[in-house]
Amino acid sequence: MAKLDSKIPAGPLADKWRRHKTEIKLVNPANKRKYEIIVVGAGLAGASASATLAELGYKVKNFVFHDSPRRAHSIAAQGGINAAKNYQNDGDSVHRLFYDTLKGGDYRSREANVHRLAEVSVNIIDQCVAQGVPFAREYGGLLANRSFGGAQVSRTFYARGQTGQQLLLGAYSALSRMIAAGGVEQHTNSEMLDLVVVDGHAKGIIVRNLITGEIERYAADAVILATGGYGNVFNLSTYARGSNVTASWRAYKRGACFANPCYTQIHPTCIPVTGDYQSKLTLMSESLRNDGRIWAPKNKADRLKPPASIPEADRDYYLERMYPSFGNLAPRDIASRAAKRVCDEGRGVGETGLGVYLDFADAINRLGEPVVRERYGNLFDIYHEITAESAYQQPMRIFPAVHYTMGGLWVDYNLMSNVPGLFVLGEANFSDHGANRLGASALMQGLADGYFVIPYTIGDYLAGQKPGARPSVDAPEFKAAAENIRAMTERFLQIKGKETVSHYHKRLGKILWEHCGMARTRASLEQALKLIPALRDEFWANVTVPGSAATLNQSLEQAGRVADFFELGELLCLDALTREESCGGHFREEYQYPDGECKRDDEKFAHVAAWEFQGAGKPPLRNIEPLNYEFTKMSVRNYK
Amino acid sequence: MVAETNSNTISITLRVWRQAGPDAPGKFVDYPAANLSTHMSFLEMLDVVNDGLTLKGEEPIAFAHDCREGICGTCSCTINGKAHGPGHGVATCQIYMRAFRDGEVIVVEPFRAKAFPLVKDLVVDRSAFDRIIQAGGFISVRTGAAPDANSIPVPKTDADLAMDAAACIGCGACVAACKNASAMLFVAAKVSQLGLLPQGQPERDSRVLAMVNTMDALGFGSCTNQYECSAACPKTISHDFIARLNRDYLKASVRSAFKPVSSAAGGSG
């Protein structure tokens, strides 16, 4: 059984991080260059960590599967980044940001971690501005802010609709500077396929060079994973096509615990699926719900009729009907589930029947088209580009989609997993967002972990490791791991079955979406736990991966990722089945209040479930880390 | 721009550049693709064609892609002779099949440039862009050494212009569209973004000199002011930034020739 010591420092909440920083061990400057650190991933967390650790003098090797460290999916975040600067003088504070984030997470995150996140949020903005990130400004030259969900203050900094891109390019520029200075050795087109554990400590990785097919071994004194979330287990999501769980999953199979995999976030307003060929879902900003009205036809027979021909009396403005006080601005999870219910009843619109209308006709009548264009013009343009429909003339069709995962590898307060020497940052870890993440908090966490947490906490581990004591890549553990990966690669090529990898990914995604998506029940989860292993067996018997292992082979890359999604998908459903409560993004239909709100069970489930691999074919072990709230009272989330 | 079709499905012939590796000979190969929904994206059409090839036991077409929403800069096809294909201000992943006619032959090639060597089929190596950024496309600020963000006011007009330049996604379409395979728009965008901001001033001269020299050394061509680059740019970055780059480069060259340098410069403290 894994030892889960959260290592939360003692003392008052607001002093914990400050005190911890003064008490943890340091590595002296002359010794830093004797330590090598592997960082996998170059999104916000990985790039910021790589740059900062190199600045401190550590020798860093950064690995990305992309062709450049500038491509990670952090780049697609639009809205903004939260920080408790209180530049608006509207009463914001570190404590308020802490509280909003904790409450937004439905009281399933760690108090101490969330407070630290709020504390360092202010440093992030300073750092990014100094790097030349072109944040939006007021006419006086000072930084502008906007409001976001789940907060009553204006604390979100933004760079048009491209905040993620600008923050990532800032971190990429810092990384580039350190590559040029020799502090970071950059490996592109390099996919991590295994973690190497020597004497119980993470000491290296096995990588496949995606261009040459070479299986390479790299040793280090510590390994950092910053490899993002696992939302593509659902196949269709707002994630990039390449986003995957492989690095995290292979670490799980080497002993790292996977925490709360069932905490997945589904965004209510995305452009719906149009056909079986679909590869990607695109987000339409939640802000549209300020002026748009959501509806579906009352009668199934009307679902394919032109919306304008459906009289008012035959339309069901279901959010306004079911949630009269919040109406179209009902919280994300409620709005998502309501749309699903309408479509399950056969009233969904569009060719696939998986869509509802978001209608601006009333807003255009009330405000005039120019005002609507000024507020939402860019979003209407994106919508037109994808659907060839004008939202000025007919309602948008929208449907919920997977877009973030709160679960991830378990880490302690130092961001170290239960495998010593293995650290996990950003969306890949589990610690800060509980069961639901607030808007504009993902960017904050990625950069907090990379710029301001890991540079301190990794020293505490390295100070206990003798400089220069890392193993050689010729150690038996490295050879065995590399051999394993080579064999797995060969196995894919030998199956020579009758279906493509994407065929199985689609079917797996469908099982998860239908049985473990927006609403989950005991029956649906038990069903999924039968369907997934059966489909996985079929995949391993009947998939076909063309080409060779000695060249760029995108089918082979995809096969490995989908194989891992099969295993993770099963764990996700098992976690959802075991957590007999509803909280945040995890909604079990059996556990809800009459108004459809999540019904938590703090007596039984105020804990982190950290799953531990027990070997192939054996059920994983469910470890528990209790969430002890010292300073905040767990209460029912209420935004009414 | 090709007129959009209204029919729900079209059939096309895909004429794709196939090349197994940088040293292998390449050639165009035709693949028929029938009954494609016009709602399908161009890359989804390639997915469908690839699934068909896979099931026939042939190697699928290698192509670069990731976010599929026009922001990561990974996708990189030249479609019917245009970098990122028909459409204005969009990347390949934002092209939909409704932009093509039923029965059309669609020619798909990789981005071609000396500085972007071919990897396989439609995939090219654009790491030269990373090396240009490493030469100076940054502001040297250590983590933790930054002053309070609002202690550096930036006029809104400068910040907005810097943001226009910063929108570059590093896809390389500007290079592929240029008859000289010049990277001037890419370099101009980064030099302008940082040069417009007060934070970027201390390294302004050294940055522009280093980036331009690296660009030249990597085999990118010269700019002859045809502006195909901004026409192909998925973020419609203006060629005005190239003029700004030229001014910065000239000023920096003159200043660096005459600037007095401290005799203690470069020593460690």
pLDDT the model gives residue A638: 67
Q: What is the least distance, in Å, from the CA of B211 to any CA of chain A? A: 12
pLDDT band (50, 70, 90) for residue A322: confident
- Percent of the residues in chain A that have a pLDDT greater than 90, as a whole number: 85
Q: What is the least distance, in Å, from the CA of B88 to any CA of chain A? A: 11
Interface contact A126-B149, CB threshold 8 A: yes
A325: pLDDT strictly greater than 80: no
Over residues A459-473, the mean pLDDT reads: 96
Dump pLDDT digits (tens) for B148-188.
999 999 999 999 999 999 999 999 999 999 999 999 999 99
Q: B193: which 2 tokens?
A: 């973004």
Q: pTM value?
A: 0.96
Interface contact A159-B166, CB threshold 8 A: yes
Of A486, A421, A449, nearest in space to A228 by CA: A449
How would you class A29 by CB atoms within 10 Å of its CB: exposed for 0-12, middle for 13-18, buried for 19 or more? exposed
Q: Of B1, B122, B143, B151, which to mutate for an interface test with A (greatest number of A Cβ within 10 Å)?
A: B143
Cα–Cα distance measured from residue A79 to residue A146, given in angstroms and rounded to the nearest whole number: 9
A377: pLDDT strictly greater than 90: no
- Report ipTM for this prediction: 0.96
Interface contact B72-A75, CB threshold 8 A: yes
Contacts of B162 in chain A (CB under 8 A): 132, 134
Altogether, the residues listed in chain A come to a count of 640
Over residues A223-244, the mean pLDDT reads: 98
pLDDT band (50, 70, 90) for residue A476: very high
For residue A518, give Cα distances in angstroms to A399, A587, B263. 12, 7, 68
Over residues A598-623, the mean pLDDT reads: 97
All structural domains of chain A, each given as residue ranges with its CATH number in brackets, are 13-265+404-462 (3.50.50.60), 266-403 (3.90.700.10)
Q: What is the least distance, in Å, from the CA of B262 to any CA of chain A? A: 23
Instruction: Using CB atoms, pick whichever of B38, B72, B133 lies closest to residue A173.
Output: B133
**Cβ count near A480 (within 10 Å):** 12
Chain B residue with the nearest C-alpha to that of A120: B144
Cα–Cα distance measured from residue B115 to residue A391, given in angstroms and rounded to the nearest whole number: 43
Q: In B56-203, where does DSSP find H-type helix?
A: 127-134, 156-166, 173-177, 184-195
- CATH superfamily for B9-120 is Beta-grasp domain (3.10.20.30)
Contacts of B141 in chain A (CB under 8 A): 127, 130-131, 174
Interface contact A547-B43, CB threshold 8 A: no
Interface contact B62-A240, CB threshold 8 A: no
Helix (H) or strand (E) holding A499: none
Cα–Cα distance measured from residue A256 to residue A249, given in angstroms and rounded to the nearest whole number: 9
Contacts of B148 in chain A (CB under 8 A): 126
Helix (H) or strand (E) holding A128: helix A111-131
pLDDT the model gives residue B5: 42
Single-letter residue type at A98: F
Handedness of CA B48, B51, B53, B55 (dihedral sign): negative
Dump pLDDT digits (tens) for A122-135.
999 999 999 999 99
pLDDT band (50, 70, 90) for residue B2: very low
Cα–Cα distance measured from residue A419 to residue A496, given in angstroms and rounded to the nearest whole number: 37
- Percent of the residues in chain A that have a pLDDT greater than 70, as a whole number: 99
What is the DSSP-derived secondary structure letter of residue B92?
Answer: G
Chain A residue with the nearest C-alpha to that of B118: A211
pLDDT band (50, 70, 90) for residue B266: low
Of A104, A212, A210, A88, nearest in space to A153 by CA: A88
Domain formed by B127-143+151-258, architecture: Orthogonal Bundle (1.10)
pLDDT the model gives residue B269: 41
Over residues A505-516, the mean pLDDT reads: 97
Q: What is the least distance, in Å, from the CA of A235 to any CA of chain B? A: 13
Q: A200: which 2 tokens?
A: 């119980």
CB B104, CB B12: distance < 8 Å: yes
A274: pLDDT strictly greater than 90: no
Chain A residue with the nearest C-alpha to that of B195: A132
Q: What is the least distance, in Å, from the CA of B258 to any CA of chain A? A: 27
Cα–Cα distance measured from residue A147 to residue A407, given in angstroms and rounded to the nearest whole number: 26
What is the DSSP-derived secondary structure letter of residue A318?
Answer: H
B1: pLDDT strictly greater than 50: no
Cα–Cα distance measured from residue A297 to residue A619, given in angstroms and rounded to the nearest whole number: 45
pLDDT the model gives residue A337: 84
pLDDT band (50, 70, 90) for residue A321: very high
Chain A residue with the nearest C-alpha to that of B19: A552
Dump pLDDT digits (tens) for B223-259.
999 999 999 999 999 999 999 999 999 999 999 998 8
Interface contact A177-B140, CB threshold 8 A: yes
Chain B residue with the nearest C-alpha to that of A543: B55
Give CA angle at B190 (B187, B193), nearest 5°: 140
**Which residues, in sequence order, are CB contacts of A544 under 8 Å at separation 6+?**
A495, A496, A497, A498, A499, A500, B54, B55, B57
pLDDT, chain A, mean: 95
CA A36 to chain centre: 27
Q: A485: which 2 tokens?
A: 């990966």
Contacts of A280 in chain B (CB under 8 A): 41, 68-69
CB A102, CB A434: distance < 8 Å: yes
B87: pLDDT strictly greater than 70: yes
Q: Of A129, A172, A212, A378, which to mutate for an interface test with B (greatest number of B Cβ within 10 Å)?
A: A129
Cα–Cα distance measured from residue A67 to residue B57, given in angstroms and rounded to the nearest whole number: 27
CATH 1.10.1060.10 segments of chain B: 127-143+151-258
A287: pLDDT strictly greater than 80: no
Helix (H) or strand (E) holding A222: strand A222-225
pLDDT the model gives residue B4: 43
Interface contact B146-A123, CB threshold 8 A: yes
A492: pLDDT strictly greater than 80: yes
Q: Which residue has the tokens 């910021």?
A: A48
CATH 3.10.20.30 segments of chain B: 9-120
Interface contact B156-A139, CB threshold 8 A: yes
Beta strands per DSSP E along chain B:
9-18, 27-37, 77-79, 82-83, 105-110, 118-120, 123-124
For residue B204, give Cα distances in angstroms to A42, A631, B251, B257. 26, 49, 10, 15
pLDDT band (50, 70, 90) for residue A578: very high
Q: Which residue has the tokens 């429909």?
A: A389
Q: Give CA torsion, residues B18, B20, B24, B25, to 10 deg.
A: -10
